[in-house]
Structure 1
Amino acid sequence: MGDTYLKQYEDFINTYEKLYHIKSFEAMQEVLVLIQNILIAKYKIHITDLIMSIFTAIKYNYRSIHLYTFIVNEILASNPVSEANAVPLFAKVDTYNLHVNAYVNDLYEVEIDSDTFPDEDSVQYMILYDQIDKFKEYITQNSLDKVVLYVPSYPFFSPLETCAYFGAVNIFSFLHSSLNHEISEDCLELSFIGGNTDIINECMKSHKLNRGCLTYIVSSHNNAFLDYVFEHELFKPKDFDYDFIINSQNLKALLLMYNLEKNSIIPWCAAFQQSLDIIKSGDLDLTRLAWDDSSLLHYCAIYDNVGVCEYLLNNSKIDINSKDMEQNTPLHQAVTWDHKNIIELIWMNINR
């Protein structure tokens, strides 16, 4: 059954994989069409979830930050967000060296902070684009001993770690083989973001896969290696942090977990609109709670999943007044996130 879902939602999965690995303006134009036709028109993805996931993409593909800001602004121009949704949506954009301009009629625009992207003459830019000849020339005149490099939302990287993150295989090989730079555990983890197989293999000679690797495999939509992880059962469902699956909208990870252990996706699967088909298929423990006591209905309220909410209220014995660890009910969450359809559904059933 899980393989059927993988096939059914292949267009959603492929669109996100292309979005997270975008490299050129031409590719961006293709992705914009896919976003509109597949994610928005076909799957009705909530605009705030979509934009949140694009902000997350910046963390794993910083090289293309200019393309991502263009995409976000195109989406915002056609899909205004309410002030209530804008507050949490833009709360952490400064993490990515971005700022937001607010205009009338719920219109917003995202801009990159000036002077934050590497200059073409900087060593970070050389690594970013794997300019090995320029890099070799640079180190003939400059020491790398005190060079630390910055990618937004991360701690400072060493030059070798930066190479792993950007997949700069030529400079990585030069630093490691010729200058004896040591491969850290962080190098291995970051290599799954860069996605260069040669760098990954070299790092795995020094360190074993860990949960940090798994997080980056999922979050960066490194789906080729994600398949490898599941085929070889390298991790168990409990090793997956579902918040990263949600934030990156990696539906493939959810479906592979479902294949391995059905109930492992309850209750957080309601963050995905596609979960309705899975939940309706039966053979799931719909009363299962998250670590913070959030229920399926809580996730419906947070992520505006009207379809699953309707199904739960009509076809199950879900506790409509259940409380999470902070004593929030699903209705509290729906009000907090200004999800009017969910509020109405819960209110109509509150005294059933």
Structure 2
Amino acid sequence: MKLIQAKDHYSALMKEYKGYIDTWDAIYKLDSNQTNSTEELFKDVKKNLIDTGYFAAEEMIRLITDAWKKNLHYSQGYIDLMERIFKEYNFTDDLYKKFVPIILSYEEIIINDDVEGLLNFINNEAYDLTKLLELCCLRGAINCFKLLKDDFNMEITKKCLDNSFKGGNQYIINECLKEQNPDKETMEAAIQSHNIDNFKKLFFETNIQIRIKCMVKYKNLHAFIYYLNRTNDLDTCFLFSPYFNIPSFCEYLYANGANMSSMSTDGDSTLDIAVLTNHTETASFLISKGIEMDEKAFYYAVSSNSTVMVELLVSHGADVNFREKKILVFQCFILLA
């Protein structure tokens, strides 16, 4: 893409990465609990995320599981999607079992928004009703929420508010906002939900500091691009861009003037993050543009047993004898043998 002005970041990037954005939004906002309901989503995952080389199939399973754990009321939909990936890429049953979360009995009651079931549970079990209310907010269980709030006079907690933004039920969100004030945890919840309207609402109506790491953690490129367009914070966005696994996005930010010397609060450079995420193409691009290669990048490459990344760094002058990392040097020789 050609270099453009800050005001045009949003429209240009949203168009360029529409498939990536729409697919991750659909994963986090999956709303079907039926068998054989995710054929089209699977096709999008394969086309927009796996076949593009952005993510390996096994990595997608792990990332989809992370989304599933936040959206358990549509478990069958996530199972259906994961089974399609397992079948397409010939994974073993044992690997599948490793990713399946355990759903407890009271969670299933709330997932199904079963008021009668919840009443029976409360009458027969000694359980913290506040935690049940918080779970109702997380699962968007509006009827169970009303039961606990109105019939049992349970008070809305700050965790209720944060969970409501994850759950995405607008009625519950509004009720929680009447009792609690949003903060950075609430903002993270809005980012995690992939509900761009709720994210924008907090962005405009509060002065909450936005943590860029939350956007990359939940693969919310839409919110990331929106943040870039509103702030023109090219340096910070460039620093964390490798987490999205899109080499051309990193290149775009560099072409528009991002500073390659930016460092995270953990002392990581953009190259360190590219190596940490094992994205060789991005690392190669950064090296070609003259980014400083520090010890940490080589440490990350060797620690993750990435032969290709180690070879790339060594071929561009990485010091395999830095400080007293004798064990890492030994590992490096094994990888390159």
- TM-score class, shorter-chain normalisation, is 0.7 to 0.9
Could you say if the C-alpha distance between residues 113 and 194 of structure 1 is closer, same or farther in structure 2, counting changes exceeding 3 Å? Answer: closer
Q: Which runs of 5+ in 2 are unaligned?
A: 1-7, 320-337
Pick the aligned partner of 2:26 from 3, 18, 32: 18
What is the CA-CA distance between 1:332 and the residue it aligns to?
A: 2.3
In 1, distance between residues paired with 2:257 and 2:271? 18
2:137/2:160 contact within 8 Å kept: yes
Could you say if the C-alpha distance between residues 211 and 48 of structure 1 is closer, same or farther in structure 2, counting changes exceeding 3 Å? Answer: farther
Q: Does 1:6 align with 2:11?
A: no
2:62/2:99 contact within 8 Å kept: no
What is the CA-CA distance between 1:158 and the residue it aligns to?
A: 1.4
- 1:290 is matched with which residue? 264
2:65/2:99 contact within 8 Å kept: no
- 1:127 is matched with which residue? 110
- 1:332 is matched with which residue? 299
What is the CA-CA distance between 1:33 and the residue it aligns to?
A: 1.4
What is the CA-CA distance between 1:269 and the residue it aligns to?
A: 1.4
Could you say if the C-alpha distance between residues 171 and 54 of structure 1 is closer, same or farther in structure 2, counting changes exceeding 3 Å? Answer: same
Q: Does 1:142 align with 2:123?
A: yes
1:258/1:264 contact within 8 Å kept: no
What is the CA-CA distance between 1:69 and the residue it aligns to?
A: 4.5
User: 2:208 is paired with a residue of what secondary structure?
Assistant: coil
Pick the aligned partner of 2:144 from 162, 167, 171: 171
1:53/1:247 contact within 8 Å kept: no
Q: Which runs of 5+ in 1 are unaligned?
A: 82-99, 103-107, 150-156, 324-328
In 1, distance between residues paired with 2:90 and 2:100? 22
Q: Could you tell me which amino acid in structure 2 is paired with residue 188 of structure 1?
A: L
Please identify which structure carries the higher helix content: 2
2:115/2:143 contact within 8 Å kept: yes
2:136/2:145 contact within 8 Å kept: yes
- 1:212 is matched with which residue? 185
User: 1:110 is paired with a residue of what secondary structure?
Assistant: helix
2:36/2:80 contact within 8 Å kept: no
Q: Could you tell me which amino acid in structure 1 is paired with residue 183 of structure 2?
A: N
In the superposition, the TM-score normalised over structure 1's length comes to 0.76
In 1, distance between residues paired with 2:141 and 2:225? 31
Pick the aligned partner of 2:65 from 55, 60, 64: 55
2:234/2:253 contact within 8 Å kept: no
- 2:236 is matched with which residue? 264
User: 1:293 is paired with a residue of what secondary structure?
Assistant: coil
More divergent stretch after superposition (69-78 vs 306-315) = 69-78
**Matching of residues 111-126 of structure 1 within 5 Å:** 111=98, 116-119=102-105, 123-126=106-109
In the superposition, the TM-score normalised over structure 2's length comes to 0.79
In 2, distance between residues paired with 1:350 and 1:117? 50
Pick the aligned partner of 1:29 from 34, 39, 49: 39
More divergent stretch after superposition (56-65 vs 190-199) = 56-65
